[in-house]
C-alpha cells in the first residue's frame, strides 16, 4: 500500500481517534460468524492459526529475504508458487502479469472468493533485505508491508488444510504483483480484466499489520504534463511563448483550486523541471501532479479542473505574446488508481466485523489505497484487512514489525476467509 495509507490508517484505525467507524453490530449480517467459529473444524483451524504462529513468522521472514523490487517480483513469486504447490492448492499458475494463483476448491465453483496479498515492495533491487530479530521485533525492508500479508496468506491455507475445513465455495489464493506506487495496481488490474475476469464474487486483500477493515479505496490520478515551445535565445528571440512561464501559470491556477474536505480530495504538484540554460528560452518545461480522492466523482471533477488550468495556462502564454498554438501541452497519465468504496453495511464488511467480534478483537474501519481499490471500482464486494501485529515505518529502510499477539491477525484473516467462502 502507499505511504499515504500509513498516515491515514494510523489516524483512523485507533477507535478513539475519530469515533467514525468503530465496529458496531450490524443488522445486515448474512452469515452467523460466531456460530461458524464454534464449529469444531473451524475452531481447530483457529487454534492452529495461533499455535502455528512461529511458522507464520518463519514464512514472513523467509519471503521477505527474497527481494521483490517494483516490476521484479518473479523470484519472490516463485517462492510463493512453490508454497502453494506444497500446500496442495490446485491449478497453481502464474498469469501474464506475474500474479501467482492457486485454488482451494469448495463444494461448488461459485461463489469464488479471492484472498490476495501483494508480493512487491517499494525498495530498489540492491536493497539489503536480510531480516533481523530482537525478541518480538522483526526488522527488514518490507517485513510488515507486505511480507506479513504473505505469511498470513499461507498460514490461512495451512490452518484450513490441517483442520480439514471444507467450504461451500471456491477460494483462490493470489500473491499479486504491482500494488505499490509505480506498479499502479497492475497485478489486480490483470486479475480482474483478464485472468479471472467476471469470475470473482468477493475479494479480500491482506496488507500490512494491524487489525482493521478498509472499506474506502482512495483513488489517484498522476500526470506528467509538459509544455513545449520552439525555444530560443533569451535576448534575440524574446517574444516567443515560454514553456516555463506557462508552467508557472498552470501551477498558480492549480494552487488556487478549492477541493472538498469530505470526501477528502487532494492535489499536489510534486516535481517540476525543464530548460537548459539561464539565457535560453526553454523548449520544454514539465511538472508531475498527483490527485487523490475516495470519491470517483470528486476525483474526476478535480482532474477536469486541473486539465482546464493547464489548457488556460497554455492559451494565456500564447496570447501574452500574440501567438496561437505555438506553445503546446502534452499529458501523460503515469498513475491511475481507481477510487471506490464498499458500503459499511455490505455483507462482506458485516462478516469481517463479525469475525473480529467472534474473536474478541477490536477492528476499526479504515481507508487505504490498495489492491481492493480495483474491485471496489467494479462494484465487486471488496475489503482490505490488516494481518495482525504492528507495522512500524512501512516503506522506510528501517521498517519493522512488532509480532506481539500477531496471531490474532492470522485468526481474523482465517475466519473471514472461511466465512466468505460461501
Ligand atoms: Zn502494502
For 181-209, the pLDDT digits (tens) are 788 999 999 999 999 999 999 999 999 99
Cell of 270: 510534486
CA of 88 to the centre of ligand 1 (A): 26
CA of 327 to the centre of ligand 1 (A): 41
CA of 122 to the centre of ligand 1 (A): 9
Element of type H or E holding 113: strand 112-118
CA of 387 to the centre of ligand 1 (A): 11
Pick the more confident residue, 1 or 181: 181
CA of 107 to the centre of ligand 1 (A): 32
CA of 206 to the centre of ligand 1 (A): 8
Binned at pLDDT 50, 70 and 90, residue 105 comes out as: very high
3-state SS class at 55? helix
Helices (H) and strands (E) in the chain, counts: 13, 19
CA of 193 to the centre of ligand 1 (A): 21
CA distance 124 to 106: 39
Distances (CA, A) of 14 to 64, 147, 334, 348, 364: 27, 23, 33, 21, 7
CA of 415 to the centre of ligand 1 (A): 21
CA of 394 to the centre of ligand 1 (A): 8
CA of 389 to the centre of ligand 1 (A): 14
pLDDT greater than 50 at residue 6:
no
Q: Is 277 exposed, middle or buried (0-12, 13-18, 19+ CB in 10 A)?
A: exposed
CA of 32 to the centre of ligand 1 (A): 30
pLDDT greater than 90 at residue 5:
no
pLDDT greater than 50 at residue 165:
yes
CA distance 255 to 79: 47
pLDDT at 311: 98
CA of 227 to the centre of ligand 1 (A): 35
Q: Is 276 exposed, middle or buried (0-12, 13-18, 19+ CB in 10 A)?
A: exposed
pLDDT greater than 60 at residue 30:
yes
CA of 159 to the centre of ligand 1 (A): 23
pLDDT at 26: 34
What mean pLDDT is reported for the chain?
92
Distances (CA, A) of 106 to 33, 113, 165, 201, 227: 18, 10, 10, 14, 56
CA of 399 to the centre of ligand 1 (A): 12
Amino acid at each position: 500500500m502507499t505511504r499515504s495509507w500509513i498516515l491515514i490508517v494510523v489516524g483512523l484505525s485507533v477507535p478513539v481517534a475519530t469515533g467514525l467507524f468503530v465496529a458496531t453490530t450490524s443488522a445486515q449480517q448474512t452469515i452467523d460468524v460466531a456460530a461458524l467459529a464454534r464449529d469444531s473444524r473451524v475452531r481447530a483451524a483457529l487454534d492452529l492459526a495461533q499455535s502455528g504462529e512461529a511458522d507464520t513468522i518463519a514464512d514472513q521472514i523467509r519471503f521477505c529475504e527474497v527481494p521483490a523490487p517494483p516490476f521484479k517480483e518473479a523470484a519472490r513469486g516463485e517462492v510463493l508458487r512453490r508454497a502453494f504447490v506444497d500446500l496442495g492448492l490446485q491449478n497453481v499458475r502464474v498469469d501474464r502479469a506475474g500474479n501467482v494463483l492457486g485454488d482451494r476448491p469448495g463444494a461448488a465453483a461459485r461463489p469464488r472468493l479471492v484472498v490476495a496479498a501483494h508480493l512487491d515492495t517499494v525498495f530498489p533491487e540492491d536493497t539489503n533485505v536480510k531480516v533481523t530479530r530482537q525478541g518480538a521485533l522483526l526488522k527488514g525492508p518490507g517485513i510488515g508491508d507486505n511480507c506479513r500479508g504473505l505469511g498470513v496468506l499461507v498460514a490461512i491455507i495451512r490452518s484450513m488444510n490441517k483442520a480439514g475445513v471444507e467450504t461451500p465455495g471456491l477460494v483462490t489464493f493470489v500473491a499479486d504483483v504491482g500494488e505499490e506506487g509505480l506498479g499502479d495496481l497492475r497485478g489486480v488490474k490483470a486479475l480482474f480484466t483478464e485472468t479471472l475476469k467476471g469470475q470473482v464474487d468477493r475479494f479480500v486483500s491482506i496488507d500490512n499489520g494491524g487489525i482493521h477493515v478498509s472499506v474506502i479505496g482512495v483513488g489517484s490520478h498522476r500526470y506528467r504534463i509538459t509544455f513545449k515551445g520552439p525555444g530560443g535565445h533569451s535576448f534575440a528571440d524574446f517574444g516567443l511563448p515560454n514553456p516555463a512561464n506557462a508552467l508557472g501559470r498552470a501551477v498558480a491556477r492549480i494552487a488556487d483550486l478549492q477541493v472538498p474536505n469530505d470526501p477528502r480530495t487532494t492535489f499536489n504538484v510534486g516535481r517540476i523541471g525543464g530548460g537548459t540554460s539561464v539565457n535560453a528560452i526553454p523548449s520544454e518545461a514539465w511538472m508531475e501532479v498527483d490527485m487523490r480522492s475516495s470519491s470517483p466523482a470528486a476525483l474526476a471533477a478535480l482532474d477536469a479542473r486541473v486539465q482546464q488550468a493547464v489548457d488556460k495556462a497554455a492559451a494565456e502564454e500564447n496570447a501574452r505574446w500574440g501567438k496561437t498554438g505555438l506553445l503546446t501541452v502534452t499529458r501523460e497519465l503515469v498513475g491511475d488508481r481507481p477510487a471506490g468504496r464498499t458500503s459499511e453495511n455490505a455483507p462482506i464488511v458485516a462478516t469481517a466485523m463479525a469475525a473480529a467480534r467472534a474473536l474478541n478483537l477490536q477492528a476499526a474501519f479504515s481507508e487505504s489505497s490498495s489492491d481492493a481499490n480495483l474491485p471496489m471500482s467494479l462494484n465487486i464486494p471488496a475489503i482490505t484487512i490488516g494481518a495482525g501485529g504492528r507495522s512500524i515505518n512501512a516503506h522506510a529502510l528501517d521498517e519493522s514489525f512488532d509480532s506481539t499477539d500477531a496471531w490474532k491477525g492470522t485468526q481474523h484473516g482465517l475466519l473471514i476467509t472461511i466465512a466468505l467462502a460461501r
